[in-house]
Structure 1
Amino acid sequence: MLKGGKVGLRARHDEDIPILRAELYDDVVNSARSEGGPWRPLPPGTKDPRLVVDETREGSVSFSVVELAGGTLVGTANLWGIDPHNRSAHVGVGLLPSARGQGYGTDVVGALCHYGFVVRSLQRLQIETLADNVAMLRAAERNGFVREGVLRSSAWVMGAFLDEVVLGLLERDYRQSAAAAV
């Protein structure tokens, strides 16, 4: 398990799937805001990769996020679009509604940075998020991500086009930040 200050990133367990389906993916608005396509219902027993981890997929790594204090499931985290040639990946975080606003997002992003830069030896991590997702923007920036641009009206969400913000973090900046914190 990868550990942050408050949360751990561990493998997805079978008992996580019904909770994630009910609290993240069956929520139409949340799902529409966090996915790149339209919401669709997920039937029981689905093999949807957002829920069921396929260990043979080299381009992504998915985790369940748990509280360190009690082991309670609080969300998901992943690196996706992993590009071994350019040594880059994208960061994804999804917290259960009951876990939001408690600083877990910042901790999850930090643990994913450790995994990406230290464990996987990546050179760059990138986050794309809706411009009004203040929690994710704060979590990213607290971990050293820099706003690199705005994709105007690039995301169709529940009947409207919204802007997306692109943030990036380079390995050298991550290491400098980690060294300064010691």
Structure 2
Amino acid sequence: LRNAAKTLTGYMLERNCRETLQNAFLMNGYFVELVSYESMIWPRTKQYRADFAIRTNALLEEGIDTWLFECKSYTAGIGRGTISKMNQLFAMAYMESPRKRGIKVSVVVNHVAMIEQAREYYAGCRIRDYFSFILIDPVNRCVKDEFCIPRIDGTEKSVFKVQDGR
């Protein structure tokens, strides 16, 4: 029964995040298409499957057309798994760049403390790929913040027209 409740909670979190992000893309004038299960897997070694993925034109200028999302909840414990999940994604990016495959990867969180922890931890980094943390308000179902991990070329930016809390 406990595992069933945990699975249901995870499903509801993913659904809430997916619907919130779909609406945010649409409200900012971008098209949205949910991506099939097979397209949510990266890299070719198939070591990672996103919670969900969206195909969008939000980052076409950067050569990105697919966006993978991993959902993390505050109720699972502050930051529990959030930083380690991003570190795992970085390790996979070392083996195969998501950018070269037209992919951006984001960890979606539902509490300001989680994005602040990520911002503090990764602020000094400079990377080649497109990774970010997105804070959503699960009650009002809106994107509150996106912290794009700084890129080597300085092109990191949020497409959600929200203030970067830096």
Q: Shared fold by TM > 0.5?
A: no
TM-score with structure 1 setting the length: 0.40
Higher strand share: 1
Higher helix share: 2
TM-score with structure 2 setting the length: 0.42
